[in-house]
C-alpha cells in the first residue's frame, strides 16, 4: 500500500494525493478485496461534517478522503503549503479507477441512484471499459435499509466477487454507507456523488473553465436552484466563515 499523508481541514482528514496516486491506492486494495473506504469530499461534505455531529463522528473512519472541490484544494494548499496542482474530482477519479480496473479485469458493483441512471451508466462502462466485469447493480431505495435488507445487500455484493463498489447515493448518505460497511463489504468502496449521473449522461457537467475556476457550484445551482440553493449558498458561506476565522486567529485547522 502506498503511504500518504493526511491533513485536517476543520474536521475531515484529507489525503495529499493526485489522481494517479489515489487511483493506485484504490486499485491496490481492490485487487486484494480488502474492505477500504473512499470519499471524494467537496465543500458541501466538509461543512456537513462540521455541522452534523453524527456525520462528523464517522467521516474519518473512511480510509481515503480526497479533495473533490477546488476551494478545498486551495484551503489545504494555503494552510499546509502542499502544492496540490489539482483537486481530485470524484467523477474524474471514477474514470481513472475504471481505466485501471479495466487493465486488471476487475469486478465492479454499482450501488445507488435510479434504475434509469444505473442502466445508462452500465452501458457507459461496458462501452468504454469492456474488460471491466460489471458484476452487479443495486438501485437506491431512497430510504435507509432495514437490518435484514442491509444484510442481504452485503451478501449480494460479497457473493458477486466485487473488487470495487461505486456508491452513488449523494452526500452525506453515501459517506455514511461507506463508513458503516467497512469490515462488512470485501471491496474498495468509493463514494463518488454525481459521477453516476454525469457519466450516464443524465446530468450535464459544468464547462471545464468553470471547474478549474472553482465555479462548478454556480453552474449546478443555476441548473437546479430549488434542490441546490441551500447546499451551495449556505454551506459555501459557512466554509468561507471558517476560513476567515482561522486566518484572523492566525491558526490552521488542528491536526
d(CA 62, CA 43): 17
Per the CB < 8 A criterion, the answer to whether 57 and 12 are in contact is no
d(CA 253, CA 255): 6
Secondary structure (3-state) at 82: coil
Give pLDDT tens digits along the chain (255 positions): 455 788 888 778 999 999 999 999 999 999 999 999 999 999 989 998 888 878 888 888 999 999 998 999 999 999 999 999 999 999 999 999 999 999 999 999 999 999 999 999 999 999 999 999 999 999 999 999 999 999 999 999 999 999 999 999 998 899 999 999 999 999 999 999 789 999 999 988 888 888 888 888 788 788 888 887 877 788 888 888 888 888 888 777 754
End-to-end Cα separation, the chain, in angstroms? 23
Secondary structure (3-state) at 202: coil
- How is residue 224 written as a grid cell? 437546479
- How is residue 20 written as a grid cell? 494517479
**pTM, 2 dp:** 0.91
The residue written with cell numbers 466538509 in the block is 46
Handedness of CA 135, 137, 138, 142 (dihedral sign): positive
178 upstream amide cis, omega within 30 of 0: no
Q: Residue 172 to residues 55, 132, 152: CA-CA distances in angstroms? A: 8, 28, 22
d(CA 157, CA 135): 9
Task: Name the pairing type of β-strands 6-8 and 13-15.
Answer: antiparallel
Q: What is the CA radius of gyration of the chain?
A: 18
pLDDT of residue 1: 44
Amino acid at each position: 500500500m502506498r503511504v500518504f499523508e493526511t491533513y485536517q481541514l476543520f474536521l475531515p482528514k484529507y489525503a495529499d494525493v493526485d489522481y494517479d496516486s489515489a487511483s493506485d491506492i484504490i486499485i491496490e486494495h481492490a485487487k486484494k478485496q480488502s474492505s477500504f473506504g473512499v470519499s471524494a469530499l467537496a465543500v458541501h461534505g466538509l461543512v456537513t461534517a462540521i455541522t452534523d455531529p453524527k456525520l462528523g463522528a464517522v467521516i474519518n473512519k473512511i480510509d481515503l478522503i480526497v479533495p473533490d472541490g477546488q476551494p478545498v484544494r486551495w484551503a489545504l494548499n494555503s494552510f499546509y503549503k502542499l502544492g496540490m496542482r489539482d483537486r481530485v474530482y470524484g467523477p474524474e477519479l471514477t474514470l481513472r479507477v475504471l481505466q485501471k480496473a479495466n487493465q486488471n479485469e476487475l469486478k465492479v458493483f454499482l450501488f445507488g441512484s435510479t434504475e434509469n441512471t444505473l442502466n445508462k451508466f452500465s452501458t457507459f462502462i461496458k462501452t468504454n471499459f469492456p474488460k471491466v466485469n460489471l458484476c452487479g447493480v443495486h438501485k437506491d431505495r431512497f430510504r435507509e435499509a432495514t437490518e435484514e435488507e442491509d444484510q442481504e445487500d452485503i451478501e449480494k455484493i460479497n457473493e458477486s466477487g466485487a473488487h470495487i463498489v461505486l456508491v452513488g447515493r449523494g452526500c452525506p448518505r453515501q459517506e455514511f454507507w461507506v463508513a458503516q460497511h467497512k469490515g462488512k463489504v470485501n471491496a474498495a468502496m468509493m463514494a463518488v456523488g454525481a459521477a453516476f449521473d454525469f457519466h450516464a449522461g443524465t446530468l450535464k457537467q459544468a464547462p471545464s473553465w468553470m471547474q478549474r475556476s472553482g465555479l462548478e457550484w454556480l453552474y449546478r445551482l443555476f441548473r437546479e436552484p430549488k434542490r441546490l440553493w441551500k447546499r451551495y449558498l449556505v454551506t459555501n458561506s459557512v466554509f468561507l466563515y471558517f476560513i476567515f476565522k482561522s486566518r484572523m486567529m492566525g491558526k490552521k485547522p488542528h491536526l
